[in-house]
Amino acid sequence: MTIKAIIFDLDGTIIDSEYYFVKRTMQFAKDHHFHIAYEDALSLVGLSHRDYLKRLAILLDHDLHEITNMYGEYKNAHPVPYGQLINQDAYDLIQYLKDSPYRIALATSTYRNILHDKLSSTGLSDTFEVEISGDMIEKAKPDPQIYLECIKSLDLKPEECMAIEDSEVGIKAAHDAGLYVIARKDPHFDTDQSLADIIIEDLRNIVQILKEGE
C-alpha cells in the first residue's frame, strides 16, 4: 500500500456534527409544528445540503421552497458551535500529517460558503491542499464524483489515496472511486460501514497504519 495523500470527509469525521444535526432537524420540525421520526431524521445524515432540503420537504410533506426559507432562517438564528464539536483524534491526526510527507485534502458535501465558517471555527483554514465542496460537483455522495475530482486535482491515482469517512454514503463514494477507505466508527448511530477497508475508533491509529505501509 503506497499512500501519498489522505482525503478527509468533514461532518462526522473531523467535526462531530451529524448527531448535532439530527437533533437540530428534530427541533426545527417541532418548533414549526411538524413531526419527524428519529429514524427519518437519521436518514438525512451525510446528504448534501441540497439533497437534505429536498428529502426534508418530502418527509415533512411541505413545499420545498418554504422549507428552504424556513430552515435558512432557523439555521441563521441557531448557529452551530463548530469549534466545540471537533473530534480531537481527527485534529491530532491532521496536525501530524501537516508535518509529514503526506498530502492532505478535503472532500465534503458542505457548500463552500458554509465550509469557510466550519474551517475557520475549528482552526483548520488553509490546512488542506485541495478542498472539494458540495457545490463544486453535480452528483453528491454516494456518487464517487467528489473523490474522483479530488484525486484529479491532486494528480494522483485512486490507489495512492486514502479516504477517511464515517457515513454510509461517504464510504460508498470513496470505495466506488477506488480509494483505500478507513471508517471512523460512529459513536452515535448504527451506521453500515461494511464497505470500508478498516473501521477504527481513534483516527490517531492511522499513523501506525501508514508507517506499516511504508
Could you tell me if 172 and 132 lie in one domain?
yes
DSSP state of 11: B
pLDDT the model gives residue 1: 67
Distances (CA, A) of 202 to 74, 103, 188, 194: 33, 20, 15, 17
Could you tell me if 175 and 102 lie in one domain?
yes
Residue 195 in grid coordinates: 464497505
pLDDT digit string, tens, across residues 50-68:
899 999 999 999 999 999 9
From 39, 60, 77, give the residue that closes a domain.
Answer: 77
Could you tell me if 151 and 185 lie in one domain?
yes
Task: Work out the angle between the directed axes of helices 145-154 and 168-176 (0-180°, nearest 10).
Answer: 50
- When pLDDT is cut at 50, 70 and 90, the band that residue 150 belongs to is very high
* Residue 6 in this model has a pLDDT that exceeds 90: yes
Could you tell me if 196 and 173 lie in one domain?
yes
Question: Helix, strand, coil % (nearest 5) of the chain?
Answer: 50, 15, 40
From 48, 77, 106, give the residue that closes a domain.
Answer: 77
Could you tell me if 101 and 179 lie in one domain?
yes
* Residue 70 in this model has a pLDDT that exceeds 90: yes
At 88, the amino acid letter reads Q
Domain encompassing residue 49: 18-77
Could you tell me if 128 and 154 lie in one domain?
yes
Number of domains into which the chain is organized: 2
pLDDT digit string, tens, across residues 170-193:
999 999 999 999 999 988 888 899
The model's pTM is: 0.86
Cβ(50)–Cβ(134) below 8 Å: yes
User: How many Å is the maximal CA-CA distance in the chain?
Assistant: 56
pLDDT the model gives residue 46: 74
